Structure 1
Amino acid sequence: MKGKSLNTLEYFKIQERLKTKAESNLGKKIVDDLMPMKDYIKIESAQDETKESLNMVLKRGNPPLGGINDIKDNVIRANKGGILYPGILLKIGDSLRASRKLKTFINSDKGDRDSSYPIIEGYIYSLALNKNLEEEIENAIISEEEISDNASPTLRNIRRQMEVKNSSIRNKLNSIINSSKNQSILQDSIITIRNDRYVVPVKRENRSTFKGLVHDQSASGATLFVEPIAIVNLNNELKELKIDEQKEIEKILKRLSEEVALVSEELIENQNILAKLDFIFAKGKLALDMNAIKPILNNKGEISLKKARHPLIPDKEVVANDIYLGEDFHSLIITGPNTGGKTVTLKTVGLLTLMVQAGLHIPCSIGSKIAVFKNVFSDIGDEQSIEQNLSTFSSHMTNIVNIIENIEENSLVLFDELGAGTDPTEGAALAMSILDYLHDKNVKTIATTHYSELKLYAISTEGVENASVEFDVETLSPTYKLLIGIPGKSNAFEISKRLGLNDIIINKSKEILSKENIEFEDVLSQIEKDRKTSEINKERSEREKKEIEKLRNELEIKQEKIDRIRKDALRNAKIEARDILENAKSQANDIIKELRNISTDIEKEKNKQIQDAKNKLKSNLDKVSDGLSENILGKTNKKPPKNLKPGDSIKLLSLNQIATVVTEPDKDGNLTVQAGIMKINVNVNNIEKAVDEVSEKTEERTRGMIKTKSKRVKTELDLRGKNLEEAMLDVDKYLDDVYMSGLNQVTIIHGKGTGVLREGIKKQLKNHKLIDSYRIGKYGEGGTGVTVVNLK
């Protein structure tokens, strides 16, 4: 594609808009290099990428694309034996974290189980994970300037020694500055640092009476900053520890850099994949913003855009149009008044074509078709060149000559005001010759014009079609609606008349026009009237059709309701008939039973059977009672329970049943208990007190949970990389876990940054019910990047 056409059709504005959707600089760089393609297969693949990302964003939300950094050069440096700085290692850790989060995102269900994203899934599954290196970097490095105590046991030990040494020095200095003997010698009772050594401010005139090394003086010279001789050795020891600390930090950074070098190829490949994914999702987000769709591609030069909208015109202002070309005709001649939307139509077709061939979705309705062209040429706008001393006509013609010289089959050419800027007769003739030339080469062409000759040319030439942009003469304003198949009418006389031009002048103008021109304009006027009448009739027909459809649907609903009522009535009648029949049968049976009961012999026999059944039942109950007594007395308790009271829970040993004491034991140990609905007499030797198993289990579970918490909970909580709301939720849960585990002191790592996270956590801790006190970390603990919390 020629750069001139890309600029004229405003492709680069779309490119800039796409850049705003990319999350990383790497993704934005891919957008910068994005150009329309010519290969059909590559374009189809790029369109599928955009479609997958759009569907995924719609169904799952935006993917986690934070932490994509350009780490390639630093990884190569580590591979060559270089030591990486903490800030670079943090970026590498972020890159690994981004890869892991994307894999988690793609594996999450989120109600999208049936969807398939083969292209995006292929990229994400190709990402290499390294959780160990990610966690090592996270645990070792707090910020670009600070290494964590957890980086190594040696570093932790050195910093503890430094803390002890600092404390000793300060205690010694505090005794010096608070001594009444030194009050008159010192300028002020403070401790400060000069040349990385602890000093106190001494008045110049007292220098000889205060033993120590001078490291600095005030601007006025009245104050000397002296290192007391008593702490010189302590300062020296502290200095040595700081050197040891720096050496250990260098070892840690070297070790981490060596680990990065071992996976350098994987990290570089991850970076390329992450950048590509950022770019693909940027395309999906842009499509979502534009309410865009994937068109149907073809290699036949066919364009059929449904409800096409120019992507750079605001939604509230843009007019959607149906634009088609390449099936029944290859050239489209658009006529109509200035500012009526002719140029916008040209740019819409050209820009949407470029967007499609760049792999972007376009703002159209579903079912739109668009061709893949080898080239898109355009001659749009007034390109008069003062420097080259070219007129408007010459400038346009220079551009047209360049187009014709480079034209090839399966190209799209867009002309704005073809043949304008010269004598109308010659310009029209030249324009028709150019259109004929392109038409013979089967080049798809759209041209705008004011020439009536071109309207007639389109009517009389096979493969060429007229189109116009609608103009409302009543309001003297364009509607921007494109009408294909209808040539545009100039409306000059009607517009002039409505603006107040004298009728004499208008009539004289009509007389000057040739008879053929007047007749042609009259034909166009009649066509326009017929079109509007046809549209009114079509709208009325559509409206009536919708009303008929609505009435038909209502009738179907009513018919269904009637059928349902009829079926329900029939079913209810059958049920009622069955109930009547059952009642009749029941009554007949009752009458027969009564007749049978009249017989005396049968009555006597029945009484005898009843008495026999009662005797048999009593015998069975006696057996059960004897068996129950034997079972209860079968098991005894060597240590019978004492002090039993009504309401106490006991366990029947033989029945293994929990019961409740009803009466206290008598002198022989007999008592009454209730088990369910039965009251039973038992002896204290056959029972034992019941244990509250629910309470025991609850206590056991609670002890187990606390024991588990105490093993799992850490003494540090790292909040770096989280926003304030997430951090506060994590702190609240962490403090509960810490309190349950029995820890007395913990450290919250929030980093230095802007201080927003530190202040937010400080406010949260201030009124927390579990907190006894808190403070900012000391030197060696993490400084202002951490907060140390003491629990109650």
Structure 2
Amino acid sequence: MNKKILEILEFDKVKDQISQNLLTSQGLVELAKLTPISDKTRIQKWFDELAEFGAIVQENGPVPLSNTADLTEILRRIELDASLASQEFAKIKKILRLVNETRRFFEQVVNVTFPVLATTLDKFVDVAYLLGLLQVIDSAGALSDTASDKLFNLRQSIKKSDSEVRKIMVEMLSKSQKYLTESIITIRQDRPVLAVRSDSKNKIPGIVHDMSASGQTFYIEPNRVVQLNNDISQKKIEEKNEVARILRELAEMIKPHIAAIRQNTWLIGQIDLINAKYRYLLATRASVPSISDHKAIKLYGARHPLIDPKTVVANDLIFDQTLDTIVITGPNTGGKTITLKTLGLAQLMAQSGLPILAETGSQVGIFTEIFADIGDEQSIAQSLSTFSSHMTNIVSVLGQVDSKTLVLFDELGAGTDPKEGAALAISILDFLKSKHAKTLATTHYPELKAYGVESEGVENASMAFDIDTFRPTYHLVQGVPGRSNALEISKRLGLDNSILEEAAGFLTEDEHDVNAMITSLEEKNQQLTESVANIRLLEKDNTLLHQDLSKALVTFNRDREKELNKARIEAQEIVKIAVDEADTILKNLQEKSLLKPHEIIEAKHQLGELAPEIVDLSKNKVLKKAKAKRGLKPGAEVLVLSYNQRGNLVRLAKDGRWEVQMGLISTKLSEDEFEPIEPEEAVKKVKTKAVKKSVTTSIKAQLDLRGTRYEEAQKMLDDYIDQALLANLHQITIVHGIGTGVIREMVREYLQRSRHVKSYEYAPQNAGGSGATIATLR
């Protein structure tokens, strides 16, 4: 797509509006690169991703995105083996954590399928290993004391020595008040000093580090702390070297994964951009259009995105495949230019995968190029007139158009003699028609009204004018050419009738007929517009009625299946009694040797098949969804599926989950983790593994899996999580050791998969490091 059209239609200003919804640096980069394309498959994929994303957010809440830094320069420096500060590693860690949270969010999505968006999400690379490495960087961006044993010992020693120095300085401060000008410990050249009067400087032996401007005060470091401070300085140098060593090692370990980090940051940018598009769609009441196979454009209630929403006028613009050209005629200041720009901008936005400001059901075409000649193109530098500038631009456009081109011409042929200008405009439109280019042109030449009526594939249009208020309404009227209202306006303004009558006499009979025809067309168009509005209102009502009927049908089918299931259960019980009785009879017959063994088995099998199959409603997703929407409220009795225990709903939390009270135990559950129980419904409690194990508040917050086999460890972990949840533990530690990494990997996969786990990370170095994992439960 040529860059000039982006400038003419101010596409970058639309991108600026969308950028207000971006949260990450990566999203800003992706938006900056966004330009219109002509690949229909790719555009449709963008639209499908946006639609699926919207459905996910509506059902599951917002995606957990947050502000992030641009890693481009940081990653490049790692590749060049340059030194990095710990704060830069913290920026990498923040991105990787965001990647983990985003992946987990989409893995836990319920009630929505998103096959197209999933193809993008599948490109995320697992970053658990890298997050484990970066645990040595704390939330403030500093290197943790536990990053190495040496660093830990050095920092502990420095703290101890600092404490000793301060103790000595405080003691000397209290004993030497009469020699001091200030009763405080101050710092000079990174050393703690006392402010000693010049006449008492020999009373406190030590090193003079500074002197006041007046010469009355000497800043002395007492000899008692000199050696201690020397030791501290030496240890700080060792600490600095150790920090640099650790950061270099960290960079070396991250370096092989640079490509994966770049991939993940790019994907975060993609998700952030989709999120920004969706938020823009909601804020502007925009919609995702369909894509035409034949360059047809159908915009319903289209609005210009850069005009104040309070004053912008929405217009329908139907430019189907039977039309090559639409000519908007009529006087200036009626909104013709805005109509051109609205169409062009809607196409640019759609071909960039952005929602357009139009009603649902709108349609766009796909064009390889969009050309425009809009506004004052006069060039003073080239000493060209307005007409010459326009014509230079038009000549350039005509040399590039084809059947996949959209052309927008404003005031075509203006700036020269009216008759020559009109003739030139008609010839240009004929040329564009011969190329089968889609053309929307505005003009005030009356000759083009006849051209629009007489030419095949061409349609007239105009901008409505309110004769009562003398104001344009900015509403587009298709199929009706514009007409001059000069005589009518002059009459209402009080111009003498004799002048008006003489002016009317100068008009030809054809011109009178044309004005009468236009008036008739306007009346018919108004009637048609009202009819279309009524039809669309009926369509909306029908849509709502269809939705209500669909819901009623789901409810009816659910209730019918429930009643049928009751009947099947009763029938099965009857058959079971019959089978038992038949079994007794067959046993007696067998004892009397009247039947052979295989005949008895076959007879019992046939009797057993008489029992009807019971439908498992718990596995019916439609019914489950319907059940969840029946209207849960505090106090309602529910059955917690994972423990087969009855409980009562307490309150609905902000995260959408319910607080459920099961006896003395309180927990938070999503709606798919429990089922409502009717007051009279009897639920048989099945003894599950979780029930067999007595719930006790004495459960430890740590599970040790070292020395266990894979299957045994997996079972232990599963049982332990159940017990921890029932005991309402918030945080647990799982000790798996390092070894071959098999048990550690199993633990990581289990925690990542479990919906009860909010987050997890390796333990600090002084608490086991990568040999233990700390998990936070929901």
User: Do they fold alike, i.e. is TM over 0.5?
Assistant: yes
Q: What corresponds to 1:129 in structure 2?
A: 126
Q: What corresponds to 2:522 in structure 1?
A: 528
SS at match of 1:406: coil
1:395 is the counterpart of 2:392? no
| Distance in 2, Cα, partners of 1:235 & 1:534 | 93
Equivalent residues in 2 for 1:473-488, closer than 5 Å: 473-488=467-482
Q: What corresponds to 2:172 in structure 1?
A: 176
Residue 92 of structure 1: CA displacement? 0.9
Q: 1:428-460: CA deviations, max 9, x gaps?
A: 111111111111221111111122211111111
SS at match of 1:219: coil
**Cα pair 2:403 2:438 within 8 Å, conserved:** no
Residue 332 of structure 1: CA displacement? 0.9
Q: What corresponds to 2:57 in structure 1?
A: 57
| Distance in 1, Cα, partners of 2:283 & 2:80 | 45
Q: What corresponds to 1:243 in structure 2?
A: 237
Residue 703 of structure 1: CA displacement? 6.6
Q: 1:33-88: CA deviations, max 9, x gaps?
A: 22211222232223333333333334333322225433244334334544321111
Q: 1:556-596: CA deviations, max 9, x gaps?
A: 9xxxxxxxxxxxxxxxxxxxxxxxxxxxxxxxxxxxxxxxx
Residue 473 of structure 1: CA displacement? 0.7
Q: How many residues align?
A: 563
**Cα pair 2:289 2:364 within 8 Å, conserved:** yes
Q: Give the alignment partner of residue 302 of structure 1, picking from 275, 296, 299.
A: 296
When residues 737 and 170 of structure 1 are mapped into structure 2, their CA distance, relative to the original with a 3 A threshold, is farther
Q: 1:217-259: CA deviations, max 9, x gaps?
A: 1122211111222222222222222223223222322232222
SS at match of 1:184: helix
Out of 215-224 and 48-57, give the one that drifted further: 48-57
| Distance in 2, Cα, partners of 1:214 & 1:315 | 72
Q: What corresponds to 2:225 in structure 1?
A: 231
**Aligned-pair Cα RMSD in Å:** 3.3
| Distance in 2, Cα, partners of 1:157 & 1:538 | 82
**Cα pair 1:142 1:148 within 8 Å, conserved:** no
Q: What corresponds to 2:644 in structure 1?
A: none
**Cα pair 2:90 2:138 within 8 Å, conserved:** yes
1:200 is the counterpart of 2:194? yes
Residue 19 of structure 1: CA displacement? 2.2
Equivalent residues in 2 for 1:90-489, closer than 5 Å: 90-109=90-109, 112-118=110-116, 120-144=117-141, 146-179=142-175, 182-489=176-483
When residues 183 and 333 of structure 1 are mapped into structure 2, their CA distance, relative to the original with a 3 A threshold, is closer
When residues 98 and 542 of structure 1 are mapped into structure 2, their CA distance, relative to the original with a 3 A threshold, is closer
Q: Give the alignment partner of residue 495 of structure 1, picking from 476, 485, 489.
A: 489
| Distance in 2, Cα, partners of 1:268 & 1:536 | 56
Residue 530 of structure 1: CA displacement? 4.2
SS at match of 2:399: helix
**Cα pair 1:466 1:486 within 8 Å, conserved:** yes
Residue 89 of structure 1: CA displacement? 0.5
Residue 477 of structure 1: CA displacement? 1.6
When residues 269 and 38 of structure 1 are mapped into structure 2, their CA distance, relative to the original with a 3 A threshold, is same
| Distance in 2, Cα, partners of 1:535 & 1:261 | 65
1:78 is the counterpart of 2:56? no
Q: 1:115-169: CA deviations, max 9, x gaps?
A: 2243x3233332223334324434443534x433232333232222222222222
Residue 510 of structure 1: CA displacement? 0.9
1:69 is the counterpart of 2:63? no
Out of 134-143 and 286-295, give the one that drifted further: 134-143
Residue 521 of structure 1: CA displacement? 1.4
Length-normalised TM-score, structure 2: 0.67
SS at match of 2:49: helix
Q: Give the residue type in structure 1 aligned to 2:156.
A: R
**Cα pair 1:334 1:469 within 8 Å, conserved:** yes
**Cα pair 2:55 2:112 within 8 Å, conserved:** no
| Distance in 2, Cα, partners of 1:540 & 1:58 | 31
Moved over 6 A (4+): 536-543, 700-703
State which structure, 1 or 2, has the greater radius of gyration over its C-alpha atoms: 1
SS at match of 1:74: helix
Q: Give the residue type in structure 2 aligned to 1:43.
A: I
**Cα pair 1:69 1:91 within 8 Å, conserved:** yes
| Distance in 1, Cα, partners of 2:179 & 2:536 | 104
Length-normalised TM-score, structure 1: 0.66
Residue 102 of structure 1: CA displacement? 0.5
Q: 1:373-396: CA deviations, max 9, x gaps?
A: 121111112222223222222222
Q: Give the residue type in structure 2 aligned to 1:18.
A: I
| Distance in 1, Cα, partners of 2:222 & 2:8 | 78
| Distance in 2, Cα, partners of 1:153 & 1:538 | 79
* Runs (5+) with no aligned partner, structure 1: 557-699, 712-735, 739-792
Q: What corresponds to 1:30 in structure 2?
A: 30
Q: What corresponds to 2:565 in structure 1?
A: none
Q: Give the residue type in structure 2 aligned to 1:16.
A: D
Q: 1:679-711: CA deviations, max 9, x gaps?
A: xxxxxxxxxxxxxxxxxxxxx977715x64999
When residues 306 and 357 of structure 1 are mapped into structure 2, their CA distance, relative to the original with a 3 A threshold, is same
